[in-house]
Copies of this chain bind each other. A is one copy, B any other.
C-alpha cells in the first residue's frame, strides 16, 4: 500500500507533470531552452495573448520549473532545471513508437 510520504511526493510530481501538460506550455519550455525571454516575446512567439501567457508562466513558476527576474518593465523567464528537457526526449521516443505501430497497422489493411 501507499504510505503518506510517497503520496505527498506523488502529488508534487503530478503538479510538475501538470505544469508541462499543455501545448502552449511545452512550446514555451522549448522556446526557453534556447535562452531566457520576456513575456511579450514569448507571447509573440507562441501567438497567444499576453494575459494568457502570463498565466501559463505562473503555473510553471508555481510548479518550480521556471524562474524569473525583472529588468525594467520586462519580466524575464528562464528554465530553472534543464533536466526538464529529459521528459521531451522520452516523449519523442513514445511518439515515434506510436507512429511505428500506426504504420504497421496501415500495412495490414
Residues of B within 8 A of A87 (CB): 17, 86-87, 90
Q: Do B95 and A45 touch (CB < 8 A)? A: no
Q: Do A97 and B64 touch (CB < 8 A)? A: yes
Q: How many residues of A contact B (CB 8 A)?
A: 46
- Interface of A: prevailing SS: helix
CA distance A27 to B8 in the complex (A): 11
CA distance A12 to B98 in the complex (A): 11
19 contacts between A and B (CB under 8 A): A1-B44, A2-B27, A2-B47, A6-B27, A6-B30, A10-B23, A10-B30, A12-B95, A13-B26, A13-B95, A14-B22, A14-B23, A17-B21, A17-B91, A21-B21, A64-B97, A80-B94, A81-B97, A86-B89
